[in-house]
Amino acid sequence: MENDILKYQKAYMAIVESLKLNEEVLATMVFGSMVSGDLWKESDIDLLVIIKERMDHIKNIYMEQNGVPIHIKLMGKSKFVLLNENDIKGGFFHRIFASSKLVFSKDKDITEKYDSGRYYPDIDREKWNMVYISDLLKSIGLCKKYLNNNRIYTSYYSAVKCVEEFSKLYINYSGYMINKDDVNMLININDDFKNYVDKLFFSKDNVEEAIIQAIKKIEEFINKNMKSITSILIDFMRDKDKKLSAEDISTDIVFKEFSINFEEILSKLWEFKIIRKETREYKIRNGKSLCVENVYYL
């Protein structure tokens, strides 16, 4: 392994030096295994390279340096600035950006964007909590359905998905940035839940019971923290001070950039008696009633 690390270090230094000497290259960042430290013999060196040339799209370039695979995400300065300004904080690009290391920069604008763009505002973290809790509630419902229908293999798959989605929620809610290894990060910071994950993943004695107990443990966390997790939604409903459907909320400017299943969340908040629920006629363009939809309010 020591030889592998040395090999990667030499390849990394060689490609960085080559990029630094190139007049068209303005900045280079490194992310992935070279930053996290979880290198192995088939790892790539992942680089974000910004050049002077105007480019409308990010290009993926794959190459080798001294026998080591290298993946370059190549973009122009204008694209980098635009992505930095418009990308949802906590989204895919922001997560890469926030976990990257600036190797060098020849451009003041890029350096300033790097320093400011890694910030993750609380309001964006709260919106991502909504994404993760809605996905998790949906997966829990599916897992229970498969268990009820005695579809153990499918319910096991759903339970594993629940663990993955719970990991994202727990990590984000706890103030950390999610990454590709969310489950491992979760069990490193939550010893109690690790026992349930171990039983689910490795116990062959009673798979059904392991699924039930893992879901029960996840639901305990949800029951205890649901109001806090969804505080941004509750505050939003309080400010609106009227009856709202899931569609009303999802199309509002506050949430429209996020993929959130609001009916799952609203239904759970109503179940906990945190909000109230009624129905109203849904009318189409000619004023005729199409159906009766759920609406919620405080």
Parse the chain into domains and list their residue ranges: 1-118, 122-297
CA angle 74, 79, 82 (to 5 degrees): 140
Q: What percent of the chain has pLDDT over 70?
A: 91
Mean pLDDT over the full length of the chain: 89
Residue 64 gets which letter from DSSP?
E
Q: Report, as an integer, the average pLDDT of 275-295.
A: 91
CB 146 within 8 A of CB 158: yes
Q: Residue 15 class from Cβ within 10 Å (0-12 exposed, 13-18 middle, 19+ buried)?
A: buried
pTM of the predicted model as reported, rounded to 2 decimal places: 0.76
pLDDT band at 36 (very low <50, low <70, confident <90, very high): low
Beta bridge partners, 63, equal 70
CATH fold of 1-118, please? Beta Polymerase; domain 2 (3.30.460)
CB 266 within 8 A of CB 272: no
pLDDT of residue 18: 96
Q: Report, as an integer, the average pLDDT of 227-253.
A: 96
